[in-house]
């Protein structure tokens, strides 16, 4: 009935988003010390948080496309 490959792809994207949701802020806070040499960790943490948003939306979009796709009817 449903496309198993799309379901797996959507769940994998959501798992990546959840893992980035926990590790991104941790890296960002660890880099927010007064040391200026850790600026690259701050950038990496920010990119991880943006990646979390991207993969979350893509995962939700993939899973919802399974339910609302016209070819499933």
Least trusted range by pLDDT, from 1-5, 26-30, 49-53, 62-66: 1-5
pLDDT in tens, 13-52: 999 999 999 999 998 888 877 666 678 888 899 999 999 9
Residue 6 banded pLDDT, cuts 50, 70, 90: confident
Q: Is the C-alpha dihedral spanning 9, 10, 12, 13 positive or negative?
A: positive
**pTM for this structure?**
0.82
- Greatest distance between any 2 Cα atoms in the chain: 58
The phi and psi torsions of 11 (rounded to 5 degrees) equal -70, -40
Residue 57 φ/ψ, nearest 5 degrees: -65, -40
Is 68 a residue whose pLDDT tops 80? yes
Which pLDDT value is given to residue 24?
Answer: 92
């Amino acid at each position: 009935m449903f496309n198993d490959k799309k379901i797996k792809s959507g769940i994998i994207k959501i798992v990546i988003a959840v893992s980035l949701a926990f590790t991104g802020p941790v890296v960002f806070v660890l880099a927010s010390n007064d040391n200026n040499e850790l600026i690259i960790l701050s950038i990496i943490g920010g990119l991880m948080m943006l990646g979390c948003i991207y993969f979350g939306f893509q995962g939700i979009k993939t899973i919802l496309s399974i339910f609302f796709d016209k070819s499933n009817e």
